[in-house]
């Protein structure tokens, strides 16, 4: 498959949780659609949600199953060893981004 010049190759690691990066995720989450309403998310979020399948470890799956957005964002942030070293403004930007991303994901989960 040819990619246009100057387009970065995107590697999706399917061996880690898509939320907290824990190894060997046990659960697969399917999204209803790959299309999201214009203006509801920044472009990076739309790209992140373009994959119709997300993987979750047991801990993150529990947050998703309960639709616990606050808990999921807090867990994902606390699982990243780099976040504590960031300033509060950067941490708030990450929290805001993850909240928008995960809210869109929770709204678009395929119900079985």
- The full set of domain ranges for the chain reads 37-107
Q: How confident is the model at residue 110 (pLDDT cuts 50, 70, 90)?
A: low
Mean residue pLDDT of the chain comes to 77
For the entire predicted model, the pTM comes to: 0.73
Structure tokens belonging to residue 75: 């867990």
Q: What is the pLDDT of residue 5?
A: 47
Q: For residue 27, what are the β-bridge partners? A: 56
The confidence score (pLDDT) of residue 78 equals 94
- Cβ burial of 57 (10 Å; 0-12, 13-18, 19+) is buried
């Amino acid at each position: 498959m040819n990619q246009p010049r100057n387009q970065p190759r995107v590697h999706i690691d399917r061996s880690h949780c898509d939320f907290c990066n824990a190894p060997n995720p046990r659960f697969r989450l399917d999204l209803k659609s790959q299309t999201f309403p214009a203006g509801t998310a920044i472009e990076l979020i739309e790209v992140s949600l373009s994959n119709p399948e997300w993987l979750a470890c047991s801990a993150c799956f529990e947050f998703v199953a309960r639709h616990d957005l606050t808990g999921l964002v807090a867990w994902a942030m606390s699982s990243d060893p780099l976040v504590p070293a960031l300033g509060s403004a950067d941490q708030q930007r990450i929290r805001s981004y993850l909240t928008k991303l995960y809210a869109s994901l929770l709204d678009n989960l395929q119900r079985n």
